[in-house]
Structure 1
Amino acid sequence: MPHEPIWTPTSPNTVIQGDNLNVLRELPDESFQLIYIDPPFNTGKVQKRQSLKTVRSQEGTRVGYKGQTYETIRGKITSYDDSFEDFWEFLEPRLEEAWRLLNSSGTLYLHLDYREVHYAKVLLDALFGRECFLNEIIWAYDYGARSKKRWPTKHDNILVYVKDPKGYYFNNTEVDREPYMAPGLVTPEKVALGKLPTDVWWHTIVSPSGREKTGYPTQKPLGVLRRIIQASSTEGDWVLDFFGGSGTTGDAARQLGRKFLLIDKNKQAFDTMKTRFTRVIDAEEEAQQIQFAKFRKRPVRLIEG
């Protein structure tokens, strides 16, 4: 007997734990306006992040305001293995599914770094067609290692492909604008409005001590995802991220009135997203609730919104 689909276009916002390729193959054709994916960068390392919390304590060794003493409490370590024997054997079938799942006006954003982006360009040219290549976005940031043996790497690459080069949706007038780097050269009205972004985005990483952080390694900032979603979708559209990670894509989509489906095999990622969005469920009306599910050979729902 056919089982109940784990997701349909009438589903609520959904987070699924499971192998993304298996889940993708269950989804109906041309269901998504926007797909953003931030797959592992194939660095050959285990990516880790440990949460830290500072509390006031008489036994603390850190001295702060008015001589108060504090101690730092270390939380659990979150991690994932960012190493594959054959990275492209892993990623190619998932990109094929992404093409199938995009609707005719839809757009794919593939977020990589310098190690794999050039191979990705060749592969996506073959899958989508070279005429469907829209942009390479450079996300530049100001944090990271200070190499003395080469130019320090301070950017990621985001390849942008459309399903139909004659019928895709794009509206950059809707995006959050940037401040002018030389505000004295433009009118006060333009300074107040800000300037439209180009294909080079200057945006800081998620602060390790900021309110936005979830503790998940390689979490991407909301500002970058907001810009992508604003430009390539409209309110009510479905957004898919099948390397869900910390859930930033879903959070940005929710804030902007889009619907989202997030998938990740990593239990730590699923737990991070569950915690992140459970706070939202507690704070929002019933219409904004989120469904959490686990996918094996047959889907089993864990929590229904």
Structure 2
Amino acid sequence: MANRSHRNRGHIGMNALRKAGRSHQSLHAIAPRTLETSVHTVFSADCLEILRALPDASIQLIVCDPPYNIQMADWDAHADYLGWAADWLTEARRVLSDTGNLVIFGGLQFQGEAGSGDLLSLVSEVRRRRLLNLVNLIIWAYPNGMSAHRFFANRHEEIFWFAKTDKYYFDLDSVREPFDEKTRKAYLKDKRLRAESVEKGRNPTNVWRIPRLNGNAKERVGHPTQKPIAVIERLVASLSYEGSVVLDFFAGSAVTSRVAAALARHSISTDRDPSVVEYFARHMANWPDADRSRRAPFRMLEKAEFRNHPAFSENAGRAAAE
């Protein structure tokens, strides 16, 4: 079968833009700038409480690792899971800017004994209500995990990437992977390839081979489903820009704010579990000494100062805030 990408109008159009030295229309809607100080807030709150308080089009990226109604705790039990999820999905769309992105973590497995929620349920709800556009299904593949006897042991997790409009922001160059030296030299000799593109590196594809955190990982702060910094870094770096606002209303360990602080994005991380504040404090205490001198300046807001967050700025959905 012929490669469909060779006839894809989007690919053809992007190649034409690059050759002409022009950029995609999504980059015209923003004006990235160097941020002097990023602002972050981490506190306990219900997801709908936070979403309903935020202005329209104030958020560039939402990182979402929701509960799936499998009754692991009181926060993971909902009589009408899809009705509840539809509420926060609808609000999430409202607060996203026109260049905004939303990523949803989840897994697909047998849940005959559990409630009505899983990743497929959420994706179906998004599509049924036509809330967002699906951009990519990312497979986070890892070598480590639990064994199994009644099914093939799980070694991957899905990340659905949705966009509010076709003007979504995506910075591929920020997450490219370098070619090994042998491949790099061979590609540089290939006259069909542009040397500057080869030097930038390869597209990491939608299969990300990044290990899960084991029990002894230095990144661990105590949350049972904590995501690796490397995974969140790739999402924040490519789907948001310096000075934009990143939101995580199922924050868990608050790793999203830890990453946002390192990458000069503003952030809001909330969770129903009050432990989110302590988890974030541990993240900051774990920050490697070698990185401390290079990290961008940032400041923290208390919950009472929430409305002083840059998300409430008139131009929060754009980097050109002044």
Task: Give the TM-score normalised by the residue count of structure 1.
Answer: 0.72
SS at match of 1:25: helix
Aligned to 1:236: 243
Cα displacement (A) at 1:42: 3.3
Amino acid at match of 1:102: L
Aligned to 1:246: 253
Matches within 5 A, 1:286-301: 287-293=297-303
SS at match of 1:267: coil
Aligned to 2:50: 23
Q: Deviations over 1:85-124 (max 9, x none)?
A: 4332332211111100000110110111115222222111
Aligned to 2:39: 12
Cα displacement (A) at 1:146: 1.5
Is the contact between residue 42 and residue 303 of structure 2 (CA under 8 Å) also seen in structure 1? yes
Aligned to 2:204: 197
SS at match of 2:303: strand
Change (3 A) 1:44 1:189: farther
Amino acid at match of 1:24: L
Q: Determine which structure has the larger strand proportion and give its number.
A: 1
Percent of aligned pairs sharing the same letter: 29
The one of 189, 210, 216 equivalent to 2:217 is 210
Change (3 A) 1:179 1:152: farther
User: Which structure 1 segments of 5+ residues have no match?
Assistant: 1-9, 47-79, 300-305
The one of 124, 127, 130 equivalent to 2:126 is 124
Report how many residues are paired: 250
Amino acid at match of 2:97: N
In the alignment, the residues of structure 2 paired with residue 178 and residue 91 of structure 1 have an alpha-carbon distance, to the nearest angstrom, of: 39
Q: Deviations over 1:233-272 (max 9, x none)?
A: 1111110000111111111111111110111110122321
Amino acid at match of 1:28: P
The one of 83, 106, 112 equivalent to 1:112 is 106
In the alignment, the residues of structure 1 paired with residue 124 and residue 236 of structure 2 have an alpha-carbon distance, to the nearest angstrom, of: 25
Aligned to 1:88: 82
Cα displacement (A) at 1:278: 6.9
Aligned to 2:165: 164
Q: Determine which structure has the larger helix proportion and give its number.
A: 2
Aligned to 1:302: none
Is the contact between residue 173 and residue 200 of structure 2 (CA under 8 Å) also seen in structure 1? no
Cα displacement (A) at 1:149: 1.8
Cα displacement (A) at 1:274: 3.7
Is the contact between residue 249 and residue 270 of structure 2 (CA under 8 Å) also seen in structure 1? yes
Change (3 A) 1:234 1:203: same
Amino acid at match of 2:60: Q
User: Which structure 2 segments of 5+ residues have no match?
Assistant: 1-36, 110-117, 188-197, 308-322
Is the contact between residue 176 and residue 202 of structure 2 (CA under 8 Å) also seen in structure 1? no
Aligned to 1:143: 144
Is the contact between residue 68 and residue 76 of structure 2 (CA under 8 Å) also seen in structure 1? yes
Is the contact between residue 107 and residue 163 of structure 1 (CA under 8 Å) also seen in structure 2? yes
Aligned to 2:69: 42
Change (3 A) 1:11 1:187: closer
In the alignment, the residues of structure 2 paired with residue 203 and residue 192 of structure 1 have an alpha-carbon distance, to the nearest angstrom, of: 23
